[in-house]
Amino acid sequence: MKSLLASSSTRTIVLWTDTVYTPIPIQSAFDNDVLGPQFTWILSSSISLSSVNQTLYQKLVGILTVESVIRSVIVAPINAALLNVTYSIWEQYEHETFPRATKVNYYALFAFDAAWSLNLSLQQLCLTSRNYLFSCTSMTSSRKELA
């Protein structure tokens, strides 16, 4: 893991797993010293800190946990215009996999929201930061198309 991540330009790791499997790669990341502050980890489930030595808490800087909830439980608004555009693109380019909007699993909607939030965050970073560590050209030009 360490050699793979160290030799890559990747500094953000998205770990989208069931709760039961999350501790395995995180423990490996601890063992291989590929956590914060050098790497940002985005997790889809929380991790227990009971097995983490408190002297290693600093390594947890940069871990973001995004957990799914059912929209009806929290009565959250939905961006219907964006969702309809997404469905339209999905149906157009992957017609054989499109299950109809009424049959899309709420976890898929959650994954879409999480990816969209990350996209917007990166776009904002590109628009506000003058110390680019990477090229932001494609992100800032695509933002104009979506506005």
Percentage of the residues of the chain whose pLDDT score is greater than 90:
0
Domain end among 18, 36, 67: 67
Number of domains in the chain: 2
Does 60 lie in the same domain as 74?
no
For residues 9 and 55, give the distance between their C-alpha atoms in angstroms, rounded to a whole number. Answer: 28
Does 116 lie in the same domain as 91?
yes
In sequence order, what are the beta bridge partners of 40?
A: 12
Alpha-helical (H) ranges within 63-136 are 71-74, 80-93, 106-128
Range of the structural domain that residue 142 is part of: 70-147
Overall average pLDDT of the 118-128 stretch: 74
pLDDT, one tens digit per residue, over 59-96 is 787 787 777 666 666 666 667 787 888 888 888 988 88
Q: For all residues of the chain together, what is the average pLDDT?
A: 76
**What six digits make up the tokens of 99?**
């299950």
For residues 129 and 136, give the distance between their C-alpha atoms in angstroms, rounded to a whole number. Answer: 10
Does 78 lie in the same domain as 116?
yes
Residue 9: per-residue pLDDT: 84
